[in-house]
């Protein structure tokens, strides 16, 4: 059976995936427990970063090398290296080029709503596409991790690939897209608690090869739950757009999302009213199916602009390039989104 010294020797040459130093150099192996009768080895490993895809890779490597050395079963716990240890290697660490780095020039825009069913994802998808049509470099995170819908709405059938240690987002309509929907099988439900959601969202920021972006849009879950809170804490300089319908109750509920943004120092740059009216193709008469005034009232209460009012209208489906929720640039609604995109560019100064 393995001894503690042998475990140290076996693991000593493995490298911390973040600072590229061996476990021996960082004293990463902090605890070893051996049960000889069961040939079981338990180790506690300190890494510079936890909760990353690299951690999963190093976990598999640790299990394999210990089993090759004679262990029949392996248990692993991870913790983070002490700040002073990381600091000692700071000068040798790779420059942080993630979207969350202090040098990032990307403008974050969260698309929020107080309740579901108001068309927030439709707005997120089409605003991202409209910005890209105006020549901007755009990314889109489907942060509605429980109710992901962006891949289907944009007609995305492929999945991201991994290149080196980074995930390459899917490019559709010149928008780089990442979604939880890419990482589940057969539309399976996500049954996670808040902390796991936060880790996945952080991975979307840190582990995806976004390149240089002018804008990164986030399609938030409805309401003010865990993911929305994580976005507010991770992105203190994020801008927000609130989506509502004309119905007074929808606008009243949407005001909660706006109030949350303001309390966390996020700047609300405007309100978009969806399903504002239905226009008959025959008579051109407008019918206000969900009432009138909700968007204007919300914008007035929050002292921001009403960026646009979107009618009830189905996109024209192109069977050769199917995207069931993307409006063409010459479509009436597509033109409204183009106008909204121009207003957004003007407001954020890019």
In the chain the domains, ranked by start, together with CATH numbers, are: 4-92 (3.30.300.130), 107-348 (3.40.50.300)
Which of 302 and 52 is assigned the larger pLDDT?
302
Q: Binning pLDDT at 50, 70 and 90, where does residue 264 land?
A: low
**Range with lowest mean pLDDT among 169-173, 177-181, 185-189:** 185-189
Sign of the alpha-carbon torsion through 10, 12, 15, 16: positive
Q: Binning pLDDT at 50, 70 and 90, where does residue 218 land?
A: very high
Averaged confidence pLDDT in the chain? 83
Q: Which long-range contacts (CB under 8 A, 24 or more apart) does 66-71 make?
A: 66/2, 66/7, 66/10, 66/11, 66/41, 69/2, 69/6, 69/7, 69/10, 70/1, 70/2, 70/39, 71/2, 71/39, 71/40, 71/41
pLDDT at 315: 83
pLDDT at 198: 56
Which residues is 112 bridged to in the sheet?
Answer: 242
Residue 46: exposure state from Cβ atoms within 10 A (0-12, 13-18, ≥19): buried
CA nearest to 122, candidates 243, 288, 228: 243
pLDDT at 233: 67
Report which secondary-structure segment, H or E, holds 336.
helix 332-348
Q: What angle do CA 191, 153, 228 make, to 5 degrees?
A: 45
pLDDT at 256: 66
Give CA–CA dist 46/23, Å, rounded: 9
Please compute the mean of the pLDDT values over residues 316-320 and round it to a whole number: 72
Residues 6+ apart with CB under 8 A from 65: 10, 11, 14
Rg (CA), the chain: 24
- Residue pLDDT, tens place only, 51-73: 776 787 888 899 999 999 888 99
Give CA–CA dist 21/228, Å, rounded: 35
Encoding tokens for residue 333?
């609604």
**Range with lowest mean pLDDT among 13-27, 114-128, 220-234:** 220-234
Give CA–CA dist 77/323, Å, rounded: 44
pLDDT at 267: 85
State the virtual CA torsion across 249, 254, 256, 257 in degrees, nearest 10.
170
Give CA–CA dist 105/38, Å, rounded: 54
Give CA–CA dist 145/179, Å, rounded: 8
pLDDT at 350 over 80: no
Report the relative pairing of strands 306-309 and 267-273 from DSSP bridges.
parallel
Give CA–CA dist 204/169, Å, rounded: 10
Please compute the mean of the pLDDT values over residues 220-236 and round it to a whole number: 66
Give CA–CA dist 23/42, Å, rounded: 16
């Amino acid at each position: 059976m393995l001894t503690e010294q042998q475990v140290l020797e076996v693991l000593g040459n493995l490298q911390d995936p973040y600072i590229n130093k061996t476990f021996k150099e960082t004293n990463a192996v902090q605890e070893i427990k051996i049960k000889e009768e069961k040939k079981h080895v338990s180790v506690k490993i300190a890494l510079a970063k936890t909760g990353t895809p690299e951690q999963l890779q190093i976990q598999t490597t640790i299990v394999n090398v210990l089993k090759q050395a004679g262990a029949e079963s392996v248990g692993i716990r991870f913790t983070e290296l002490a700040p002073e240890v990381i600091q000692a290697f700071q000068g040798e660490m790779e420059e942080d080029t993630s979207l969350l780095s202090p040098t990032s020039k990307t403008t974050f825009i969260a698309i929020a709503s107080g309740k579901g069913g108001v068309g927030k994802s439709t707005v997120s998808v089409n605003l991202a596409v409209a910005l890209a049509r105006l020549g901007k470099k755009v990314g889109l995170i489907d942060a509605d991790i429980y109710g992901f819908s962006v891949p289907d709405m944009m007609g995305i059938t492929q999945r991201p690939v991994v290149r080196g240690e980074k995930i390459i987002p899917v490019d559709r309509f010149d928008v780089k897209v990442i979604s939880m929907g890419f990482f589940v099988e057969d539309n399976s439900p996500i049954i996670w608690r808040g902390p796991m959601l936060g880790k996945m969202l952080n991975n979307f920021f840190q582990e995806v090869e976004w390149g240089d972006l002018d804008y990164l849009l986030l399609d938030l879950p409805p309401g003010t739950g865990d993911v929305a809170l994580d976005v507010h804490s991770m992105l203190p300089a994020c801008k927000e757009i609130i989506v509502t319908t004309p119905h007074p109750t929808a606008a009243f509920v949407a005001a909660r999302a706006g109030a949350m943004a303001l309390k966390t120092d996020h700047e609300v740059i405007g309100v978009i009213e969806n399903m504002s009216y239905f226009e008959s193709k025959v008579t051109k008469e407008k019918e206000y199916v969900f009432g009138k005034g909700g968007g204007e009232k919300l914008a007035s209460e929050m002292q921001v602009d009403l960026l646009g009012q979107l009618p009830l209208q189905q996109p024209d489906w192109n069977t050769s390039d199917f995207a069931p929720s993307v409006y063409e640039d010459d479509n009436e609604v597509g033109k409204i989104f183009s106008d909204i995109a121009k207003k957004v560019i003007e407001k954020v100064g890019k």
